[in-house]
Amino acid sequence: MPKRILITGSSGLVGSEAVSYFDERGWHVYGIDNNLRSDFFGAEGDTSWILERLAQTARHFSHFEKDIRDREAVSQIVDQVRPHLILHAAAQPSHDLAGTRPFDDFEVNAVGTLNLLEAVRQTCPEAPFVLMSTNKVYGDAPNDLELLELETRWDYARPDDKHGISEQCRIDASLHSLFGVSKAAADLMVQEYGRYFGLPTLCLRCGCITGSRHSGVELHGFLSYLTRAIRQGRKYRIYGYKGKQVRDNIHPFDICTLIEAFYDRPQTAAVYNLGGGRENSVSILEAIAILEERLGRKLQWEYVDQARRGDHICYISDLRRLRADYPNWQLTHSLDDIFIELTENSSEPQ
C-alpha cells in the first residue's frame, strides 16, 4: 500500500510543489485547498490554475475543496485519509493584509492549525506533522542586530552574526504584525502538541520561498511579484530602507526534501529556521538589477520612505542547527537557479 500524505494549502507554492514531489515518489497525496488566496488578493492571487495543472499531471492526487477553518470537515478528512505524514501549508500569508482582516488572519493561521492538530491527535498521532511557519514569529527583533550599510544592501556588522538569525532569537518584546502573532500562536501550538501530547512535530520558520508556481502579489511574494512587474511594465513600490533590505530565498523543492528527511527521522517539537542562507540572499536593489538584465526590460519603480511596519531590514536564515541535525540535507537550487526559473520557466498565466 502506498504511503499517504495530507497537504493543506495544496494549491499554494509549497503545497503544490509537495503534491508533485510526493506523487512522483509513489505516495498517495490528499490536498485541502479552497482557493481562499483569491479572496485575500483578488484575481492575481487565484490558484485555480495550479489545481488544474496538478489534476492533469499528478497520478495519485485527491483534492478536497474545504476551508481549514471548518473543524468538522477537517476532522472528517483526517479520519478518512489516515495520513502517514501531514504538511500544513495553508495560511493567510501577508502581514499587511492581516491588519485589515484580523479575524480572517487569526482564524486561518491559528484556529485552522488547532483544528488540524486536534484531528491528527485523535486519529493518527504517530504521523509526523510539519507546519510551514515563518520568520515573522520573531517580529522585528532581528532588526536589533548591528547593521552595516553597503552599496546595494544592508549586512550584519559583527562577524559573530554573519551566519544570520538563529532559533535563539526572541519572539517577544517586538513588533510582529498581526500576521506574525497568528503564526506565532500556530507555531507554539504545534510545539506544544509535540511536548504535551508527544506528537512528532516540526515548525519550519521560513522567510522568502519562491519559484515559478508562485502567484505573487504586491503584499506577498517578493521575487515572483517583482518579476511580474518588470515583465508587464507595472510600477513597483519600494518601501523604506533605501531598497537595500535583504532576504534569503529558498525553492520549495528544497523544503520538500527536508520534509521527507523529517518523515524518515522525526523528532518531537522540532523547530528550525529555513531559508536559502547567505549564498541565496539578495536585496531588492540587487534583485531588480539581476531581473532587468535577464528580462531585458527596465523596472518602473517609486520609493516610499515609510517602511512596512515590523519589516525586517536584513534577514538571513542561520542553517547551522538544521544542517547539524540533518547533515544529508542540502540546498539544490541556487539563487541563479531561482532567477532562471522565474524568468524562463514560469507556468503562471500572464
pTM: 0.95
Judge whether residue 41 has pLDDT over 50: yes
Judge whether residue 332 has pLDDT over 50: yes
Q: What is the pLDDT of residues 171-197, one digit of tens each?
A: 999 999 999 999 999 999 999 999 999
Percent of the chain with pLDDT over 90: 88
Q: How much is the average pLDDT of 197-212?
A: 94
Q: How much is the average pLDDT of 235-256?
A: 96
Q: Starting at the edge strand that comes first in sequence, how are the strands of the sheet with 4-8 ordered?
A: 61-64, 28-32, 4-8, 85-88, 129-134, 201-206, 270-274
Q: Identify which has the larger pLDDT, 67 or 221.
A: 67
pLDDT of 172 reads 95
The amino acid at 143 = N
pLDDT of 216 reads 64
pLDDT bucket at 215, cuts 50 / 70 / 90: low
CB 246 within 8 A of CB 154: yes
pLDDT of 179 reads 95
* Residues constituting the chain: 350
Given phi > 0 = left and psi -120 to 50 = alpha, else beta, which region is 173? left
Instruction: State the burial class of residue 115 (Cβ atoms within 10 Å of its Cβ: 0-12, 13-18, 19+).
Output: buried
pLDDT bucket at 350, cuts 50 / 70 / 90: very low
CB 245 within 8 A of CB 332: no
CB 39 within 8 A of CB 4: no
pLDDT of 348 reads 53
Judge whether residue 95 has pLDDT over 90: no
Judge whether residue 346 has pLDDT over 70: no
pLDDT bucket at 90, cuts 50 / 70 / 90: very high
Q: How much is the average pLDDT of 307-332?
A: 96
Q: Which of 182, 207, 178 shows the shortest CA–CA distance to 272? A: 207
CB 48 within 8 A of CB 39: no
DSSP state for residue 277 in the 8-state scheme: T
Domain 4-344 -> CATH class: alpha beta
pLDDT of 89 reads 98
pLDDT of 26 reads 98
Percent of the chain with pLDDT over 70: 96
Q: Identify which has the larger pLDDT, 18 or 45.
A: 18
Q: In whole numbers, what is the pLDDT of the chain averaged over residues?
A: 95
CA distances from 39 to 34, 35, 101, 109 (A): 10, 8, 11, 15
Residue carrying C-alpha cell 522568502? 208
Which grid cell sits at 98? 492581516
Handedness of CA 36, 37, 38, 39 (dihedral sign): positive
DSSP state for residue 216 in the 8-state scheme: -
Helices (H) and strands (E) in the chain, counts: 13, 15
Q: Alpha helices, DSSP H only, in 282-334?
A: 284-295, 320-325
pLDDT bucket at 91, cuts 50 / 70 / 90: very high
Q: Alpha helices, DSSP H only, in the chain?
A: 13-24, 36-41, 48-57, 71-81, 95-98, 102-106, 112-123, 178-197, 222-232, 252-264, 284-295, 320-325, 335-344
Other C-beta atoms lying within 10 Å of the C-beta of residue 162: 12
Q: What is the pLDDT of residues 19-35, one digit of tens each?
A: 999 999 999 999 999 99
- How many angstroms separate the CA atoms of 28 and 19, rounded? 9
Judge whether residue 345 has pLDDT over 80: no
Which grid cell sits at 83? 495520513
Q: Which of 90, 98, 82, 42 shows the shortest CA–CA distance to 66? A: 90
CB 98 within 8 A of CB 92: yes
CB 189 within 8 A of CB 112: no
Q: What is the pLDDT of residues 146-156, one digit of tens each?
A: 999 999 999 99
Contacts of 66 (CB under 8 A, 6+ apart): 32, 34, 73, 74, 77
pLDDT bucket at 222, cuts 50 / 70 / 90: confident
